[in-house]
Structure 1
Amino acid sequence: MLLTTWGSTGDIAPYTGVAAALTAAGHQVTVVVSSRYTNRFTMHAAHVHALPTEKQEDVLLARKRAHPRLWQHIPTTAAPVLLRTSAEADLILANPLMHPLCAVIGEGLNVPSVGVYTIALGMILPRLAAGHAANGYALADKAAKLALSHMFAPAVRYLRHSLGLPLRRTETLLRTLRDQQICYGMSEALIPAGFPHTTTGHWTPCRPDGWQPGRRLLDFLERGPAPVYFGFGSMYRTDTAKLNQIIEETVRILGVRAVIQAGWGGLHAETDDILTIGECPHDWLFPRMRAAVHHAGVGTVHASLSAGIPTLPVPVMLDQPYWAGRLHTLGLTPAVIPARHLTAERLEHSLSRLLHQDMYTERILKFRDRAQKQDGTGNLLTEINRYL
């Protein structure tokens, strides 16, 4: 079976857990992923193939705004690799950014293709999706697919031509993904009533093989009370110097300690009460934190809630405002502070409430108990067996 994913570190991580679960269940798994992340899958798959997308990723990281054609380069680069590696697959599993390509390949090879999503596409339009649960989401889903269609059109045309499938005058994701089966790896407890999809539960990432916490981090944790986590993951469209200053000022005023995860944005501050770290598995780190301030990426949201720690979302883009809004609607956080509106005063005020009002911790612990009733990868395996 073929499993393919592309995206940031947070986008990739849950699929390490999926690959490990599939392999443990006796499936022979081939993974196709960006060359940046192949080492994360080597212990969990029979074969790992690299997507040669590192050059495009470097360009995207270096730019605040990328030309639409640059985004087209990712699927057009991935398409030949996926076509070659799918030849012997009896099932193709694909994340949202690879699913349109795999849907076409599945059609051409007569192989089932199943989407394995950690977000629903409509969530990238949170204001529309947050309307009436069913109608608002349906509109957001259609709008998102239409907006993303241009990104995939050249690659989809290439695949249809290569597979001898009829070419279409217009190719939208509404048509490409029609009738495709999708499994959603998110906690049912986070989803509003009326959400039109069934969820399996969150897919917990595997730790990198041989990972151990660094001595500096261990020493810092042992020296004093539990710190507050600050991290914005793979978000690079942020004012790093401003964020560093806001974090330092907030830590000083509130008299707390902090661990900052540098992420793609390169956050960094060092004082007696602040330590900056690189990559660190959240399932190890978060239970050692007092609270978490983060960008509300879906993986980080699930990790902080699974650890049972109070969470303050500072969303930047895409689906992050959706998840931040869900945390607030569920009463799990006192506020949502969009990154563009973040100030030391706002952060200090909201973080102080989070740390000193016990009701947030109590609610999160109750939420954790409910969410843990879903076995994410176990439920996914049950769904996958239906397609084999």
Structure 2
Amino acid sequence: MKIMLITAGSRGDVEPFAAFARGAHAAGHEVRLAVPDNSGVDLSALDAVSLGADFSAMIADQGVSPLAAMRSFRTTVKPAMRAVIVNSVRESLEFAPDVLMYHPKIVSAPLIADHLGIPHIMVEAVPVTAPTRAFPAPGTITANLGGAVNKLTYKAVGAAGGMFRQELAEAAALLGSSATKTSDPSATMVTVSPHLLARPADWPERVHLTGPWMVPASRTVLDAALDEFIAEPFVYAGFGSMAAGNAADRGRSIIEATRARSIRTLIATGWGGIDVSEDLRGDDVFVTDSVPHAQVMARASAAIHHGGAGTVHTAARAGITSIVVPFIADQPFWGKQLHDAGLAPAPVAYRRVSAATIGAALDAVPVYESANRALAERMADEDGIAAALEIVEATC
């Protein structure tokens, strides 16, 4: 089977698709992966093509502030999304797949699939497209307002495609069409563990919780200096692609909190979420730009992170406690989910990061350790990629 995978966004949006591409190829399928540039994801040995958009540059330029995105919508956001929307058409037509699997940002995907007469499957790391009474749409509000009000929050998410009508018209024209209505996805896969989020009873049958799509921990060889540092107890801190507020103050707060407790700290600066000045560095602090989460968290005692879905699942599978510092989108949702489930301290808003708030969360870590070890045991046998392949094969 020829499978076309298309995704857009930061590393967390690309990595699961790359993991699935490897799994599908190993299962005998022909797979092409269309991705943004400079995501930081290992794409070696994959048939990967560029969508001509660089979300890392966009974040470096404006951070993750919604206000900054609104101010630069015409000059930065729309051109990047135009590249994604239009080049998704070009790459799909060239590959001629049997099925199209795509991130919700790929709003031209249903047009493409309908033109080719093939099934299309939406893939999301957090459930934002299937309305439910069980919880509000992640990225809207964190308070569970119950029933009908929760369902209403999904309308805001569904309206996003309307911002790119012109780009969708261009995509349709490339397909020789003027279509505005498209078919619904044949299936929607949510790459979330049912041990972290119970499947809502009011979801339609076509919506599946597959479990996370993850690269095997054995794939990456660790840098020798990093391997040596994590041979002794440490706490991990990294905020991925998040860039907002004062990164140097966050770095200082984290190190002051860990040093006050004689805890060694591994810091991944990512795309600008944390900065560590020279005066704070020492033998008890290891600073790098990024790390392979699965290998590192398997040895960590806790993880301070932004609460992205992929990082949440990696920490959970490692059996360690998360200290969530949410910035945007689904991150407050995951912080609340973990806290409500008795798996983590209450999330610390990124504007409230201080040595005191991080220190209090670190002091609470022992309370959650046994619950997280038990969760890791339940998640150990999950194979999200295998589950997803079964759905693909049944759909096609």
Q: Which residue of 2 aligns with 1:369?
A: 377
Match of 2:105 among 87, 97, 100: 97
Structure 1 distance, partners of 2:218, 2:325, is 27
Match of 2:211 among 198, 201, 206: 201
Identical pairs, percent: 25
Q: How many Å apart are 1:176 and its aligned residue?
A: 5.3
Q: How many Å apart are 1:3 and its aligned residue?
A: 0.7
1:237 to 1:194, Cα distance in 2 relative to 1, 3 A: same
Structure 2 distance, partners of 1:297, 1:275, is 22
Match of 2:347 among 336, 339, 345: 336
CA contact (8 A) 1:38 1:50 kept: no
Q: How many Å apart are 1:57 and its aligned residue?
A: 4.3
Amino acid at match of 1:191: L
CA contact (8 A) 1:260 1:277 kept: yes
1:346 to 1:332, Cα distance in 2 relative to 1, 3 A: same
How many residues align? The count is: 369
Amino acid at match of 2:13: D
Match of 2:73 among 68, 72, 77: 68
Structure 2 distance, partners of 1:38, 1:258, is 23
Instruction: Kindly indicate whether residue 269 of structure 2 is the aligned counterpart of residue 259 of structure 1.
Output: no
Question: Runs of 5+ in structure 1 lacking a partner?
Answer: 169-174
C-alpha distance after superposition, 1:176-196 (max 9, x if no partner): 574552111110111146363
Taking only aligned residues, the RMSD between alpha carbons, in angstroms, comes to 2.2
- Which structure shows the bigger proportion of residues in helix conformation? 1
Question: Runs of 5+ in structure 2 lacking a partner?
Answer: 129-136
Q: Which residue of 1 aligns with 2:155?
A: 142
Match of 1:232 among 228, 231, 239: 239
Structure 2 distance, partners of 1:315, 1:19, is 29
Please give the secondary structure, in 2, of the residue aligned with 1:3: strand
Match of 2:126 among 114, 119, 124: 119
Structure 1 distance, partners of 2:151, 2:164, is 21
CA contact (8 A) 2:238 2:305 kept: yes
C-alpha distance after superposition, 1:300-336 (max 9, x if no partner): 0000010011111111111000011100010001221
Amino acid at match of 2:296: L
Structure 2 distance, partners of 1:189, 1:167, is 40
Q: Which residue of 1 aligns with 2:134?
A: none
Amino acid at match of 1:112: P
Q: How many Å apart are 1:34 and its aligned residue?
A: 1.4
Q: How many Å apart are 1:7 and its aligned residue?
A: 1.1
Instruction: Kindly indicate whether residue 219 of structure 2 is the aligned counterpart of residue 213 of structure 1.
Output: no
Q: Which residue of 2 aligns with 1:53?
A: 53
Q: Which residue of 2 aligns with 1:184?
A: 190
Please give the secondary structure, in 1, of the residue aligned with 2:142: helix
Instruction: Kindly indicate whether residue 10 of structure 2 is the aligned counterpart of residue 5 of structure 1.
Output: no
Please give the secondary structure, in 1, of the residue aligned with 2:221: coil
C-alpha distance after superposition, 1:210-260 (max 9, x if no partner): x422222123234xx410111101101231111011012101211211100
1:39 to 1:353, Cα distance in 2 relative to 1, 3 A: closer
1:101 to 1:207, Cα distance in 2 relative to 1, 3 A: farther
Structure 2 distance, partners of 1:104, 1:206, is 34
Amino acid at match of 2:12: G
1:182 to 1:312, Cα distance in 2 relative to 1, 3 A: same
1:79 to 1:38, Cα distance in 2 relative to 1, 3 A: farther
Please, what TM-score do these two structures have when normalized by structure 1? 0.88
Structure 2 distance, partners of 1:226, 1:21, is 33
Amino acid at match of 1:189: H
Amino acid at match of 1:216: A
Q: How many Å apart are 1:35 and its aligned residue?
A: 2.5
Q: Which residue of 2 aligns with 1:158?
A: 170
Q: Which residue of 1 aligns with 2:132?
A: none
Structure 2 distance, partners of 1:238, 1:259, is 21
Please give the secondary structure, in 1, of the residue aligned with 2:108: helix
1:77 to 1:285, Cα distance in 2 relative to 1, 3 A: same
Q: How many Å apart are 1:137 and its aligned residue?
A: 4.5
Please give the secondary structure, in 2, of the residue aligned with 1:11: helix
Amino acid at match of 1:315: P
1:93 to 1:311, Cα distance in 2 relative to 1, 3 A: same
Q: Which residue of 1 aligns with 2:316?
A: 305
CA contact (8 A) 1:231 1:262 kept: yes
Deviation larger for 34-43 or 101-110 = 34-43
Please, what TM-score do these two structures have when normalized by structure 2? 0.87
Structure 2 distance, partners of 1:325, 1:176, is 35
C-alpha distance after superposition, 1:37-64 (max 9, x if no partner): 4972332x3x32112113x641442114
1:378 to 1:277, Cα distance in 2 relative to 1, 3 A: same
C-alpha distance after superposition, 1:87-116 (max 9, x if no partner): 211111101212x21111111221211111
